[in-house]
Copies of this chain bind each other. A is one copy, B any other.
Amino acid sequence: MINVAVLGASGYTGAELVRLLSLHPRFAIKSLSADRKAGKKYSDIFPHFRHLDLPVLSRIEDINFYDIQLVFCALPHATSQKVIKNLPKHVRIVDLSADFRLRDPKEYKKWYGSEHEATELQKKAVYGLTELYREKISNANLVACTGCNSATALIPLIPLVIKRLIALKGIIIDLATGVSGAGRVPKENMLHSEVSEGFIAYNVGKHRHLAEFDQELSAFAGKKVEVTFTPHLIPQNRGILATIYVDGDTEKIYSGLNHFYRQEPFIIILPQGFVPSTHHVRGSNYCHIGVVGDRISGKTILFSAIDNLTKGSSGQAVHKCKLDV
């Protein structure tokens, strides 16, 4: 059994971690932190856990890390780096924030607007796409979970870039995500009254996950790749569907993806002609991928669906740990 602490357990990714860890035979949840809600029972924050015997919420400074082997850090961006740099050295860390995703401090500053406060750790952190970085992850002390949007689109794109099956210019990622990605902190535009019946794009041409697309696609291509990326908000809680427009031969793309992911337990390439739905991956760690040829020859449309809280965040976090610890 691996003893685990979850920092920032009062948000949605925290709750999803607790759900997955409590169902998993190899993990024991020893500590749950939530500074502002310290002292409360976890089931008063998330009543669907009322049947579980879980630790009372504590402050991070009150956690005894002595018998913790693994820390899941589900704290907000910027807070995460401050906390992680002060954690004891013996714990392995899976960070769900954006703080350690970008390897280049300049890129970090460009996209997140401030200097990184733990640049030494930033260099050592491994980008947490399990299917692509499995070996590095198994040796890492700090793994940075990917952005939920990034995971959705990178999973089908990277193999095609590696195998040179698509043009590197002109890739368009049109993506729609459920609202739980925005977290549990109250915001006007996340109220039910605002979200319902309202499909809208946001952060057009400037979403921070662009930095992850740039970093990863360029790294695997061996040269600079820039994509167009438009996220939308769907009036539903969970799930991301990416619709990706690429130039490349549909048959080769289909067989290429099938071959690349033939042994991956969580990647499902649908039969040709099928398209995935967010409904079909809800609550699961699976990524469903569809490949459809456009009527215009040479153009292919990729579809990739995940649950943003599971494969897009907490599920990928737990997946990593099953492999490497």
Contact = CB atoms under 8 A, between A and B. Distances in A.
A270 to B, nearest CB: 7
Count identical subunits in the complex. Answer: 4
Contacts of A114: none
Contacts of A303: 201
5 contacts: A179-B193, A184-B188, A197-B237, A199-B277, A232-B241
A199 B240 CA distance: 8
Interface of A: 12, 47-48, 50-51, 170, 172, 174, 176, 178-180, 184-188, 190-202, 204-206, 210, 226, 228, 230, 232, 234-239, 241, 243, 245, 265, 268, 270, 274-284, 286, 288, 292-296, 299, 301, 303
Nearest to A274: B47
User: Which 8 A-B pairs rank lowest in CB-CB distance, beginning with the nearest?
Assistant: A198-B279, A186-B186, A200-B277, A192-B195, A47-B280, A174-B174, A48-B280, A192-B192
B245 A172 contact: yes
Nearest to A267: B51
A186 B184 CA distance: 11
A210 B295 contact: yes
B232 A235 contact: no
Contact of A234 (B235, B282, B284): B235
B205 A239 contact: no
Given A186-B191, A245-B228, A279-B194, A301 B50 contact: no
